[in-house]
Amino acid sequence: MSESTAPPVSVADHGAIRVITVNRPDKLNALNGATLDALHQAFDAAADEAAVRVIVLTGAGAKAFVAGADIAEMNTLTPVEGRDFSLRGTRMMRRVERMTKPVIAMVNGFALGGGLELAMCCHLRVAADTARLGQPEINLGLIPGFGGTQRLLRLAGRAATLELCLVGAPIDAQRALQLGIVNRVVPAAELEAQTMALAEQLANAAPLALRGMIDCVNIGGECGIEEGLEYESVQFGLVFSTQDMREGTAAFLERRKPAFRGE
C-alpha cells in the first residue's frame, strides 16, 4: 500500500492494550489535517471500548515518533486557516489529555514540533535513548500551535521552555528526562518491550482508580490548590463505592494479588 493510500493511523490490540500508530513513515509521520482527524477518531474509539484499558501511542518506522506538523500543508494556509489548523490539532491533543484511560507515548525517534506536543499530551512518555525532542518552530518563522508553549511550561518550567522554543535546537532523551519532559529513557532495542511491560502493569491496575488519578491531576493542573484538594477528596470518596476498592483492600489483607474488574 502506498503512502498516498495507506491509512494515516493504524490500530492493533494486544489484550487490554491498544497500540495506536501514526502511519506516515515516508513523511516521518508528520501531522496533516487527515492525520489529526484520524487520531481523534482512534482515541474516541478507544475511549468507548470497555475492553481497552491502556493506550500506547507511537510512530511507524525507525526514524520518527512524529517529526512535526506537515510543513507542505501549512505553507499555503491563510491566517484564518492557520488558526483553524491550530485549533484542530489542539482539540485532538486535548482529547488525548482528557482520556480516562492511561495513554503512554512510546517515543521511538524524532519528536519535534507537533510531535513533541503530541507526546506531551499523553499521560506518560517512554523514550528511546536515540530519540531527539524539541520545538524548532522558530526556524520556520512559526510558534508552537498545538499547545507546546503551555504543556512544556508545565512539564519543564519557564527557563527550559523559553530556551527550547526561542533557540529551537533539539535535545537528546537524557536531557529531556532531566527536564521532566519524559518519564523514562530506555535502550532503543528495548523500547517496545519496556513500554508494553509498563502498559501491561497499568492494564492490570484498578481502572476506576486510574481514572480518578488522571482526573485529579488534570483538574489540579488547571485550578488553585484548594479546589484541587477538594476535587481529590470527592474522587477519593467515590472509589469507596467500587468493587475494585473492596477487592484491592481485601487482597492486601489476605496477602494475595488483586483481580480488578473495573467495577
The catalytic residue positions are: 117, 137
Alpha carbon of 119 to those of 25, 111, 112, 113, 206: distances in Å? 17, 7, 10, 10, 24
C-alpha cell at 232: 481529590
Chain-centre distance for alpha carbon 188: 19
Which helix or strand (DSSP H or E) is residue 186 part of?
A: strand 184-186
Chain-centre distance for alpha carbon 87: 18
Torsions phi, psi of 132, nearest 5?
Answer: -130, 135
Count of beta carbons in the 10 Å neighbourhood of residue 196? 20
Chain-centre distance for alpha carbon 54: 11
